[in-house]
Structure 1
Amino acid sequence: MKMGCLPVPASWPLKRWLGLGLVVFHCITLGCAQEKKVAKSKVGEKVGLPCCYKIPNSESLQNYRVYWQVNVTDVVLAYSGGEKIHEHSRYVNRTKLDLKNLTLWIYGVEILDRGPYQCIVQSLQSSPDKPGSHLLCGEPVTLFVTADFSEPNIERKITASSCESTEMVVRCSSHGGFPKPRIYGVLNNVSVVLNTTWESESSLSPYNVTGTLWLNVTKDINFTCFVEYDDFVMSTSLLLAKANDCIISTALPSYNVITASSIIIITFLLAIILAAKYLPRHACSRCSKNQESADEDVKEIMNPPKSSKVTCEMSSL
């Protein structure tokens, strides 16, 4: 059932319709003039929305008409003469009215439950100065609903490294929370701005958030990521360590140097092989020639000369 302020049976007489018009007028006037109260809850919890009127101990709910409405147009729960006369389909089995202080209890709070509520109380008892039903209060209260974000997760990816510094991309992400959060980082107690992206099916759906930071790290540094939503803050810290490995580039020798070195090595090896093969033969041949000449000399010395023999023979004659 949707109405400006109050649902009423179609069979009400004109006098009551006029009275209802006054109630609506007072309802809107009071809602604008009075300071709004605030109630907060998390998704899945229960919350009590306080009403602006409390029934005296000497009386009962039978003497009153009580309406709880949301967003001005939707009646959440309505009682008249001590009996429930209306309950919104989205709040069935999730609401309960305190019969004394008229607090509206909402169980299993959802994100869609957030918004402005208003408690409207009418007295059904007439008096000489106030004939018929009359408005007692119509005070508003705003419900804020939050959903906890997951603990922020920090990941880093090294993109380049040298002896002097390490370049890296740092990402911080969190999901499943409400309302739309603020995400930021702190590097050694200095706040830094992150490149932020949000994902959500609608403005009344949980959010996923990611913050990205590009860094050139010259020394180890502590990074803390904060996710802030409503009055709540979640945080995670990670030590961003500079890479210890130094990459020293060594230039490869040119093609000409490699070729020349190869030729020298091959030539040297061939020289060694040839020397090992031919030098022993040459030495042996020279030794054999020397030996032959020595043997001939010995033979000449051992044999007497022929001329001496002829001379002896002639002398004997």
Structure 2
Amino acid sequence: AREKKVVKSKVGETVSLPCCHEIPSSESLHKYRVYWQKNITEVVLAYSEGNMISKHERYRYRTEMDPWNLTLWISPMEILDNGSYQCVVQRNSVVVCDESVILFVTADFSKPNIMAEVLADSCESTEMEIVCSSHGGFPKPKISGALDNMSVEWNASWVSESSLSPYNVTGKLVLNVTKDVNITCSVEYNGFAKSTSLLLKKTNDCVVPPVPPPYNVITASIIIVITFILAITLAARYLPRHVCSHCCKREDLVEEGVKEGTKPPISSKGTPDTSSV
């Protein structure tokens, strides 16, 4: 089987779907029957003998067909246009070609919005719930994320009225933040992506109180302090007496020296010299 052609377009744009046959310049559309139909059962438009014989109400004023290469033009694109289209060409009741083309319609999602809520806080870490949301896009997206370039898995949920309606997507994540980090949320859809980043700050940088010393260290410290105090007390009592005793002895010696210095000199009785003549 021949591989189906794929055409991609965005909501609001103009798209052209190629047909499998081109009418030669020597002929005209009057000799052909052309059917453009969606999902086999829904006729978008039909031509017979050069005249339009059918056109779906939803495509009224939004479609045209080239009379030579039979290309189907749709503008502006809608999400409901997403699907498989088939071009069937007949000449003289004989099928000339019958091929399908798949149309992928994309609607852009909004730029993701990231919100962070603190659940618990301590000196070591901050527990946060991160919520990333985006809306209004098509088709159903994939949501991914990164924490400082390391991938994270979101708990994702999607809301849509139907399989051919815009989607709203929400991703949730609980993190323990121990330092300032960047988190990125990306919404990917049909080859496109929208991303947003947010700096998560650790909110509490309190100083951890010092750990008290063990009981045996406290006991040893008390004994050392008491011993030191006793030593000072004993020294204070002993040193004054020792110094005073030395002072008293020194004063006694000085007094004795003074007394000895003040005694009168001892006179010696001399005998007169007798000279003999």
Fold match (TM-score > 0.5)? yes
Match of 2:97 in 1: 137
Match of 2:174 in 1: 214
Contact 2:126 2:204 in 1 (8 A): no
CA distance in 2, matches of 1:95, 1:247: 70
Given the two structures, how large is their TM-score scaled by the length of structure 2? 0.72
**Residue deviations 1:71-101, cap 9 Å, x none?**
1111111111111111011111111001111
The structure where strand makes up a greater share of residues is 2
| Deviation of the 1:245 alpha carbon | 4.6
The structure where helix makes up a greater share of residues is 1
1:100 partner SS: coil
CA distance in 2, matches of 1:245, 1:36: 60
CA distance in 2, matches of 1:75, 1:98: 17
2:207 corresponds to 1:239:
no
CA distance in 1, matches of 2:44, 2:119: 56
**Residue deviations 1:23-80, cap 9 Å, x none?**
xxxxxxxxxx332111111112111110001111222111211110111111111111
Match of 1:174 in 2: 134
Instruction: Specify the code of the residue in structure 1 equivalent to 2:177.
Output: V
Mapping for residues 1-317 of structure 1, pairs under 5 Å? 33-124=1-92, 133-246=93-206
Unaligned ranges ≥5, structure 1: 1-32, 125-132, 250-317
CA distance in 1, matches of 2:160, 2:188: 17
1:62 partner SS: helix
Instruction: Give the ranges of 4+ consecutive aligned residues of structure 1 lying more than 4 Å apart after TM superposition.
Output: none
C-alpha distance 160-248 of structure 1, shift in aligned 2 (>3 A): farther
Contact 1:162 1:247 in 2 (8 A): no
CA distance in 2, matches of 1:169, 1:134: 65
Unaligned ranges ≥5, structure 2: 210-277
**Residue deviations 1:167-210, cap 9 Å, x none?**
11111100000111111110111111011111111111111111
**Residue deviations 1:127-165, cap 9 Å, x none?**
xxxxxx311100111111111000001111112222221
Instruction: Specify the code of the residue in structure 1 equivalent to 2:198.
Output: L
CA distance in 1, matches of 2:185, 2:66: 43
CA distance in 2, matches of 1:57, 1:122: 17
The Cα RMSD (Å) is: 1.5
CA distance in 1, matches of 2:121, 2:206: 8
- Percent identity for Structure 1 against Structure 2: 66
Moved more, 71-80 or 56-65: 56-65
Contact 1:40 1:145 in 2 (8 A): yes
Contact 1:154 1:236 in 2 (8 A): yes
Contact 2:121 2:204 in 1 (8 A): no
The size of the alignment, in residue pairs, is: 209
Given the two structures, how large is their TM-score scaled by the length of structure 1? 0.64
| Deviation of the 1:246 alpha carbon | 2.4
Instruction: Specify the code of the residue in structure 1 equivalent to 2:153.
Output: V
2:58 partner SS: helix
**Residue deviations 1:236-264, cap 9 Å, x none?**
11111111452889xxxxxxxxxxxxxxx
